[in-house]
């Protein structure tokens, strides 16, 4: 994506965000955030548990996991990765290279890369599955109009197809297939010999990537279950925020809010830092659920503050990792 497109998208997102702040009333927005800011403490504690679920899922994907790759080491790398993803302008994948580098001393670079990509596929698949589940309460809570019904049906079809695709790639491999797709583009024909030279390495990555399905299918199912549970737990963030805003803390409505905003963010992935996308989606879903939409903007801001706090924690973890890097590393295994 070109810089001009990213810049224009960022400006549009900034305009939407400014419009929402103006529409909600800056003084009301500030007062709402101040009065409900206490919910950040339980929200942060909730995400500690969510990241524990993510970490356990990632570890389950590593076949023949070495004892040195402990849960807390994996948890720190996982938190650092997610925290840096919040700071990544587009697509939110900036933390994955750090995760690979951090896990390589214990897993080897090839296994580390395959496990991180595999976890990303698992994480995205679980997110889509939970979004599909959220369509059920959404159908009951959102306005019963033909437009909403058509939108829910279209969302169900797209989410199901994308989930099936991600699951098939997780079983069949993704690295060599990506090489085949890239080689078909006319602009890459001159690079084809160089790309072909990487085929054996990519094939070996696919072997590591799909090992979980050959050697321990039950571990994959366990990892998927852990990810789905973690994703559902993460939606309780909005239940806490709803309670803090004096709206009752209904977990079902919070479930719909969290998944609808995530769906909009995925669709508008090209907007840097999701600026305006997250706030606008929460504003709309609050309106459709019968809440004051101005409080939706406050809810989105509180969620943003949680992301900023985890970004800060990620930086602290990275600083500690740099200090630890001065110590002798264990023997690498490939």
Three-state DSSP state, 198:
coil
Residue 329 belongs to a domain: no
Least confident range from 18-32, 60-74, 188-202: namely 188-202
Q: What is the mean pLDDT of residues 191-208?
A: 77
The mean pLDDT value of the chain amounts to 85
Instruction: Give me the pLDDT at residue 194, please.
Output: 73
Residue 304 belongs to a domain: yes
- pLDDT tens by residue, 35-67: 888 999 999 999 999 999 999 999 999 988 888
How many domains is the chain built from?
A: 1
Instruction: Give me the pLDDT at residue 324, please.
Output: 57
Q: With contact defined as beta carbons under 8 Å apart, do 333 and 108 qualify?
A: yes
Instruction: Give me the pLDDT at residue 146, please.
Output: 92
Residue 308 belongs to a domain: yes
| CA-to-CA separations, 24 to 30, 65, 80, 286, 288, in angstroms, rounded | 10, 51, 34, 12, 16
Q: With contact defined as beta carbons under 8 Å apart, do 71 and 54 qualify?
A: no
Q: How far apart are CA 307 and CA 305, in angstroms?
A: 5
- How far is C-alpha 4 from the geometric centre of its chain's CA atoms? 25
Residue 333 belongs to a domain: no
The DSSP element (H or E) to which 224 belongs, if any, is helix 217-234
Domain that holds residue 92: 3-323
Residue 253 belongs to a domain: yes
Residue 331 belongs to a domain: no
pLDDT over 50 (residue 104): yes
């Amino acid at each position: 994506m070109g810089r001009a497109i990213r810049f224009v998208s960022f400006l549009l997102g900034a305009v939407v965000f400014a419009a929402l702040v103006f529409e909600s009333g800056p003084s009301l927005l500030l007062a709402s955030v101040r009065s409900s800011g206490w919910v950040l403490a339980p929200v942060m504690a909730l995400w500690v548990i969510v990241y524990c679920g993510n970490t356990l899922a990632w570890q389950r994907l590593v076949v023949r996991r070495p004892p040195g790759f402990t849960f807390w080491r994996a948890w720190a790398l996982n938190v650092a990765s997610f925290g840096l993803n919040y700071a990544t302008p587009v697509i939110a994948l900036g933390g994955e290279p750090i995760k690979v580098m951090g896990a390589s001393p214990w897993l080897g670079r090839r296994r580390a890369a395959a496990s991180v990509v595999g976890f990303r596929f698992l994480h995205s698949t679980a997110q889509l599955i939970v979004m599909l589940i959220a369509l059920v309460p959404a159908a009951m809570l959102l306005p019963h109009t033909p437009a909403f019904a058509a939108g829910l049906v279209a969302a169900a079809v797209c989410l199901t197809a994308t989930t099936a695709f991600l699951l098939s790639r997780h079983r069949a491999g993704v690295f060599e297939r990506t090489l085949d797709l890239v080689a078909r583009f006319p602009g890459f024909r001159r690079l084809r010999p160089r790309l072909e030279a990487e085929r054996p390495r990519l094939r070996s990555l696919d072997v590591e990537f799909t090992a979980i399905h050959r050697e321990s299918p039950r571990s994959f199912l366990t990892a998927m279950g852990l990810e789905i549970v973690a994703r559902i737990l993460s939606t309780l963030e909005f239940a806490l925020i709803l309670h803090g805003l004096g709206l009752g803390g209904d977990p079902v409505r919070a479930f719909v809010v969290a998944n609808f905003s995530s769906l909009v963010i995925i669709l508008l992935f090209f907007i840097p830092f999701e600026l305006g996308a997250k706030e606008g989606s929460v504003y709309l879903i609050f309106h459709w659920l019968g809440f004051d939409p101005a409080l939706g903007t406050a809810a989105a801001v509180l969620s943003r503050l949680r992301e900023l706090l985890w970004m800060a924690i990620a930086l602290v973890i990275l600083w500690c990792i740099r200090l630890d890097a001065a110590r002798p590393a264990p023997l690498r295994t490939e």
